[in-house]
Amino acid sequence: MSGQVMNRAAAERFVAAWCANWCRVDIDAVVAHLADNAEVRSPLALKLTDSPIVTGAENIRVYWRKAYGGVESADLKILNWSWDDTIARLTVWWQLDDTRASEFMDFDDAGRVVRSEAFYGK
């Protein structure tokens, strides 16, 4: 995914790959979409790391391995998504079991995620 300018078509391909990577719980593949200095904000991060924000691709990899490393697969479903070309922001609405979430991802000029924030509901 990286190395390309993000637009609606690229965002659609990204959503498909991102979902497939999470369904396989392939954390390395998900991290490959991140810029080195990426920042992830999540209520789960606060629970597991005592901070709602995890910064840096390698730190995010460690966090996700801690959070999901014991899971072999996940039935993640994409409910909807939208792409905002003006601010290079992808918003994805997804569901996993009884958890529903919206997550936005901001992209750099190389098509890598620099910032992500997840919001969870039921």
> One digit per residue, pLDDT tens: the chain, 122 residues?
445 688 999 999 999 999 999 999 999 999 999 999 999 999 889 988 989 999 999 999 999 999 888 888 999 999 999 999 999 999 999 999 999 999 999 999 999 999 999 998 86
Domain spanning 8-121 has what CATH number? 3.10.450.50
| Residue 96 to residue 77: CA distance in whole angstroms | 6
Strands 99-107 and 113-121, sheet pairing: antiparallel
Strand partners, 40: 54, 116
Q: Which of 103, 101, 107 is nearest to 117 (CA)?
A: 103
Q: Do 2 and 32 meet the contact criterion of CB atoms below 8 Å apart? A: yes
| Residue 31 to residue 61: CA distance in whole angstroms | 6
Strands 34-41 and 89-96, sheet pairing: unpaired
